[in-house]
């Protein structure tokens, strides 16, 4: 082509800057030539041919017009050469960046595959143009549209980590479309359609995909759909969370086993805490046995009195059996034998039992209580709960001989279905550090304590669907507050007692 331009420029009389056609030679050479050498050799040759043609035609006496045409042709060759060199530099830079991207893309330990969302975006645009304004509702009512658009998404590339994660040997065998490995039952793609329509900066979702072998794996996929990003190659970062899910299940199982182990470890402490509940019927059993024996050893034997003693003996044995039964049920995560219990008689009965072991100068005050308040609970466990709290309260007041040794039990209805019971003493109150760890198993500030009393109380309260918390009175003393669900027998439970405390 360069020779043809030379011949036309030299042996025709066209009267124009015909040598500018050498620019085409340079463009073709830069496109088809190898390396930068073609952009050195061909421009020099074209310049030489232009000057040679001018010398042959015009000799030593050129006119001004011919000289200007030659200058224009040389300038055009120079500008074309500069532009082609710049293009060559930019092409080389782009090629290096592509190679760098490819190297980084394939060396990342995180799985990445690229999506072509252009057909989906075009389908969403047609949907909007047809008058659909509420896309979320439309997608919810038209699941077939979601399935159809999911099948439009092509997978344009995948790195080595993605290929390995999905169980393939190379890119050629990798899935061609998103629907090949995303189950049709998947619900995450509807959110993806909303993200494409809104062109969100970042879209992230959790879903399940199928590997080459059909094995399901849980993943988190994240990609950007920002308006300035093209939709033909949208890279998605894929994180396999299958092992995380397995680990979470293992942790949950281990936690459940630990809780059961801690509850089982509390059996001995629970037995110690309710020893008086068992010791009382056991001592009574022994007394009734001795009494019955004495009546039978008389001459003649008094059978009637002996039978009466044995009848009482049976009741004590049954009570001891019920205590042990409740403890075993609590250890097995059982809520016990739940029955409807009137609150006032229950608390008064507990207070009556607790008063039997009080030292002189100590007292238990009950009230105000609601006659209309009924709870669903296990009588034996609730008795142990409050006896434990009353015992703790009196122990807390032992160190100060100058204070009033009294425990106050009161109840207050909160809303239509809850009652709050408070056990208050006149001791030093709860220390801040103790309040933070009071319900931990095996934690105690007493030298001879096992550290399970409040932990057991918490277990009993939670078995009844309630809550327990610790607080201090404004003036002096500790407060244990227990919230339990109630069963209301009237539209509005009324506190019938006077505001003054009543000690039955």
> Does residue 230 have a pLDDT over 60?
yes
Torsion over CA of 393, 398, 402 and 403, rounded to 10 degrees? 0
pLDDT grade, residue 243 (50/70/90)?
confident
pLDDT grade, residue 493 (50/70/90)?
very low
CA distance 485 to 466: 7
Predicted confidence (pLDDT) per residue in 22-72, tens digit: 788 778 877 776 556 677 788 888 888 888 887 887 776 777 877 887 888
Q: Which pLDDT value is given to residue 332?
A: 53
pLDDT grade, residue 483 (50/70/90)?
very high
pLDDT grade, residue 430 (50/70/90)?
confident
Number of Cα atoms under 13 Å in the Cβ half of residue 388: 25
> Does residue 244 have a pLDDT over 80?
no
Q: Which pLDDT value is given to residue 261?
A: 56
> Does residue 169 have a pLDDT over 90?
no
Q: Which pLDDT value is given to residue 328?
A: 58
pLDDT grade, residue 499 (50/70/90)?
very low
Q: Which pLDDT value is given to residue 196?
A: 93
Lowest mean pLDDT among 50-59, 109-118, 206-215: 50-59
- Please give the average per-residue pLDDT across 476-498, as a whole number: 66
3-state secondary structure of 440: coil
Q: Which pLDDT value is given to residue 91?
A: 81
Eight-state DSSP code of residue 359:
P
CA distance 439 to 434: 9
Question: Which residues are bridge partners to 234 per DSSP?
Answer: 115
- Please give the average per-residue pLDDT across 174-186, as a whole number: 86
Predicted confidence (pLDDT) per residue in 364-420, tens digit: 888 777 666 888 888 888 888 888 888 888 888 887 777 888 899 988 888 778 899
> Does residue 201 have a pLDDT over 80?
yes
Q: Which pLDDT value is given to residue 501?
A: 39
Predicted confidence (pLDDT) per residue in 453-470, tens digit: 677 788 888 888 899 988
Higher pLDDT residue, 283 or 491? 283
pLDDT grade, residue 496 (50/70/90)?
very low
- Please give the average per-residue pLDDT across 181-208, as a whole number: 89
Predicted confidence (pLDDT) per residue in 127-143, tens digit: 999 999 999 999 999 99
Eight-state DSSP code of residue 166:
T
DSSP string, 254-314: HHHHHHHHHHHHTHHHHHHHTHHHHHHHHHHHHHHHHHHHHHHHSSS--HHHHHHHHHHHH
Q: Which pLDDT value is given to residue 16?
A: 60
**Among 8-12, 172-176, 485-489, the range of highest mean pLDDT:** 172-176
CA distance 445 to 438: 9
Q: Which pLDDT value is given to residue 498?
A: 37
pLDDT grade, residue 334 (50/70/90)?
low
Question: What's the mean pLDDT when you consider all of the chain?
Answer: 79
pTM of this structure: 0.40
Predicted confidence (pLDDT) per residue in 286-321, tens digit: 777 788 788 888 888 888 887 877 777 776 677 677
């Amino acid at each position: 082509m360069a020779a043809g331009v030379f011949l036309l420029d030299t042996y025709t009389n066209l009267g124009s800057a015909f040598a500018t056609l050498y620019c085409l030679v340079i463009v073709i050479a830069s496109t088809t030539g190898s390396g930068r050498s073609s952009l050195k050799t061909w421009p020099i040759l074209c310049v030489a041919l232009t000057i040679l043609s001018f010398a042959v035609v015009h000799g030593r006496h050129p006119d001004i017009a011919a000289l200007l045409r030659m200058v224009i042709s040389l300038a055009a060759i120079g500008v074309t050469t500069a532009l082609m060199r710049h293009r060559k530099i930019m092409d080389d830079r782009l090629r290096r960046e592509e190679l760098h991207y490819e190297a980084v893309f394939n060396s990342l330990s995180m799985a990445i595959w690229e999506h072509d969302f252009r057909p989906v975006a075009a389908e969403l645009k047609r949907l909007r143009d047809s008058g659909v304004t509420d896309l979320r509702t439309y997608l919810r009512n038209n699941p077939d549209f979601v399935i159809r658009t999911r099948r439009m998404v092509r997978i344009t590339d995948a790195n080595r980590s993605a290929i390995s994660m999905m169980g393939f040997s190379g890119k050629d065998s990798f899935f061609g479309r998103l629907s090949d490995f995303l189950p049709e039952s998947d619900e995450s793609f509807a959110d993806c359609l909303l993200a494409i329509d809104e062109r969100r900066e970042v879209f992230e979702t959790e879903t399940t995909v199928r590997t080459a072998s059909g094995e399901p794996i849980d993943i988190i996929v994240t990609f950007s759909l920002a308006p300035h990003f093209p939709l033909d190659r949208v890279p998605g970062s894929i994180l396999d969370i299958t092992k995380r899910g397995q680990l979470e299940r293992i942790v949950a199982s281990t936690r459940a086993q630990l809780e059961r182990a801690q509850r089982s470890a509390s059996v001995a402490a629970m037995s110690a805490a309710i020893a008086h509940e068992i010791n009382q019927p056991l001592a009574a059993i022994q007394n009734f046995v001795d009494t019955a024996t004495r009546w039978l050893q008389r001459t003649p034997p008094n059978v009637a009195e002996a039978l009466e003693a044995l009848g009482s003996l049976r009741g004590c044995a049954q009570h001891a059996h019920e205590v042990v039964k409740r403890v075993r049920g609590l250890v097995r995560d059982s809520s016990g034998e739940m029955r409807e219990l009137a609150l006032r008689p229950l608390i008064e009965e507990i207070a009556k039992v607790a008063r039997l072991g009080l030292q002189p100068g100590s007292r238990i005050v009950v009230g105000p209580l609601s006659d209309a308040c009924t709870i669903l609970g296990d009588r034996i466990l609730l008795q142990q709960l409050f006896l434990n709290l009353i015992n703790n309260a009196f122990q807390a007041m032992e160190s100060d001989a100058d204070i009033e040794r009294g425990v106050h039990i009161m109840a207050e209805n909160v809303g239509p279905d809850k009652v709050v019971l408070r056990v208050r003493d006149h001791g030093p109150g709860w220390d801040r550090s103790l309040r933070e760890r009071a319900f931990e198993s095996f934690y105690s500030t007493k030298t001879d304590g096992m550290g399970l009393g409040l932990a057991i109380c918490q277990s009993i309260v939670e078995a009844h669907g309630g809550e327990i918390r610790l607080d201090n009175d404004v003036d002096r003393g500790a407060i244990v507050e227990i919230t339990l669900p109630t069963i209301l027998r009237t539209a509005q439970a009324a506190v019938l007692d006077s505001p003054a405390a009543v000690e039955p």
